[in-house]
Amino acid sequence: MTHAATSPATASATSPEGHADTHLWLEDIDGAKPLAWVKQHNAETVQKYAQTPEFKQLDARILEVLDSNARIPMVNKIGDSYYNLWRDKEHPKGLWRRTSLAEYRKPQPAWETVIDLDALSKAENENWVWHSAQCLKPDNQRCLVSLSRGGADADVVREFDLRDKQFVKGGFELPEAKSNVAWKDRDHLYVATDFGPGSMTTSSYPRIVKEWKRGTPLTTAVTVYEGKTDDMTVAAFRDNTPGFERDFVNRQLAFYDSETYLRGKDGKLTKIDVPNDTNTSVEREWLLIEPRNDWTVAGKTYKSGSLLATKFDDYMAGKRDITVLFEPTDSTALDGHSWTRHHLILNVMENVVNKLEVLTPQEGAWKRENLGGAPALSTIAAGGIDADDSDDYFLTVSGFLQPTTLYYGKLGQGEPSALKNSPSFFDASRYTVSQHFATSKDGTRVPYFEIAPKNLQANGKNPTLQYGYGGFEVSLQPSYSGSMGRAWLEQGGVYVIANIRGGGEYGPRWHKAALKANRLRAYEDFAAVSEDLFARKITSPQHLGAMGGSNGGLLMGNMLTLYPQLYGAIVSQVALLDMQRYTHLSAGASWIAEYGDPDKPAEWAWIKTFSPYANAKASQKYPPTLFTTSTRDDRVGPVHARKMYAKLADLGYDASFYENIEGGHGAAADNKQSAFMNALGYTYLWEHVK
């Protein structure tokens, strides 16, 4: 499949203001001429930043972190076994392996290899990157294994037998595509994939879902549901919880809007009657509802960001007996929830720090108990291990200076016990973590975390790296990074995480505050954090670097064009940057709900205010900037970084570019590539802000 969603030959060559886009030729992602251009500029960047002994030492030290055999092998339970995907020096593509709980409790478990990705790639002459495995309950013998070529979102799907540890000859198999696939039963799948012309949405995802019977051609699969071309995608799945087997169809209208239908045995679809911007999930007899906006039903109003529970069958029959399980405040937001067999674990954030509650269903208000809170400025998370079978759970605790500890517990049976500890990769005793609040342009208080040496001098000269994301309701919480510790803290730098609007740190309201026409609020927040660092004399513009990826890469592009005076250098990774063309590139149309539609003149009027590619101009004091991306990124695509770099270079600015040929949206297909990409970003910033 081609990566380019739109042929550059047919694309508009001018902006609404009449300016010619002289870099459209770079949109031919796999074209010989653009790839030659990529290799040329890759070589220039490597020569300039990745040839020194210091770089090579840092690259090796980051790879040592990523390949460490002392890392916690995180697992998920399938049947009676616990499965893990493991990458290290000997297995760069990875081993999908399994063990028993008794064995997993040991310091050095004995593992049974199920799939060796390196051996499979060699045998099939493919660069397979692991995506997922869906196994059919309750016997958990057959799985649908999804493998990507080089890390792209598109993957192939092949049926696998866990008992025989072999792909099933003549079994279910789907060619490379962005597919949504799920088991209905052993001989039937729900499949949404590329069925040919007209079967995909403008977002490059499936528009049609079908039921496919074993032993029959895919072309004879029976249509279950057809969405519209301008929908985002569709999917169908079966909940195989014993005694509560149900089939569902999901129509994703846009990133935050969807419709979910219960599919009867006769194929009839009955919509779950909630607002389209509301998230729902079903577990046994319960329907959980998360409204993104205030929702009034049956004379009661439920707040945006709440978690509500009701009996599924009663709700589908028209009853509206709803119990509030969580309601946000100005400082709290729901971070997630997870079922065990008899309980529901809630993960709640208060000013971006977690605490856990256990809820037990009962008539009226559910029983509530605390499961634990994180140590100061750390992250705690818990999840049920097998909601069909037990009240066992895994719990993790980590922080910027605290390597992850994995605990195992059973609800109602005392405190969890420590099971595994991650190693330390740098001397955390030399540093301290603090949380601060900056005041944004409109008066909003914006939290940020700072990790700094204990002996920090407030002299405005400390090399500082400020990281941010600010989109899609994604929260940036305390977490341990051996790579960051080695690459930045150990060099004497200060590391800052900015919890700007657009993220989910305070629930849907924090996200919606920076949507579409309000996008500039996110960039004002990031700038406010930078200015607060200056006011506190932590650093100064010549010593402040900024980094972000994907939507955070768009953030970086806007800090470059809107606030160049605040930064000594910027690294923009796998970024959106050309916001006039983004809906026509890779999966860009799926994010119209986040940014708006630039093909509508009224919306382009405000989108262009945060389109770095449109706003970059001559005679500005832009800081040095590095753009990194991946040829195999079929989500955002490499086109944005290519064109932005080319434009800045044409204007005579100090810019650099590196495109990994593999890696997908993560920009790396294995640990070695990941170490290189990380080392490159950190080295670039350090060279310019030290």
Which residues form the catalytic set? Answer: 550, 665
Side chain identity, residue 12: S
User: Residue 262 and residue 284: Cα distance in Å, rounded?
Assistant: 14
User: Residue 308 and residue 324: Cα distance in Å, rounded?
Assistant: 5
Beta pairing partners, 235: 250
N-term to C-term CA, the chain: 44
- Return the half-sphere exposure (C-beta side, CA atoms, 13 A cut-off) of residue 437: 8
Question: How many residues does the structure list for the chain?
Answer: 690
518: Cβ–Cβ under 8 A, 6 or more apart, which residues? 512
- How distant is the alpha carbon of residue 63 from its chain centre? 22
Beta pairing partners, 405: 397, 421
Least Cα distance to 520 among 509, 532, 528, 531 occurs for: 528
Contact 14, 21 (CB under 8 A): yes
Burial class (CB in 10 A: 0-12, 13-18, 19+), 205: buried
User: Residue 520 and residue 350: Cα distance in Å, rounded?
Assistant: 25
Least Cα distance to 287 among 264, 269, 262 occurs for: 262
Side chain identity, residue 337: H
Which residue has 């909630």 as its token pair? 274
User: Residue 539 and residue 591: Cα distance in Å, rounded?
Assistant: 35
Beta strand 655-660 with 625-630: parallel, antiparallel or unpaired? parallel
For residue 91, count other CB atoms closer than 10 A to its CB.
19
DSSP 3-state of 640: helix
User: Residue 428 and residue 400: Cα distance in Å, rounded?
Assistant: 9
Contacts of 425-430 spanning 24+ positions with Cβ under 8 A: 425/64, 425/65, 425/68, 425/482, 425/483, 425/485, 425/486, 426/482, 426/485, 426/486, 426/489, 426/490, 427/490, 428/401, 428/402, 428/485, 430/454, 430/489
Beta pairing partners, 450: 434, 496
Side chain identity, residue 649: A
Contact 623, 568 (CB under 8 A): yes
Contact 157, 174 (CB under 8 A): yes
10: Cβ–Cβ under 8 A, 6 or more apart, which residues? none
User: Residue 43 and residue 151: Cα distance in Å, rounded?
Assistant: 22
Distances (CA, A) of 597 to 220, 230, 288, 443: 37, 12, 32, 29
Least Cα distance to 304 among 290, 315, 288 occurs for: 290
Please report the DSSP string for 341-363 in residue order.
SS-EEEEEEETTEEEEEEEE--S
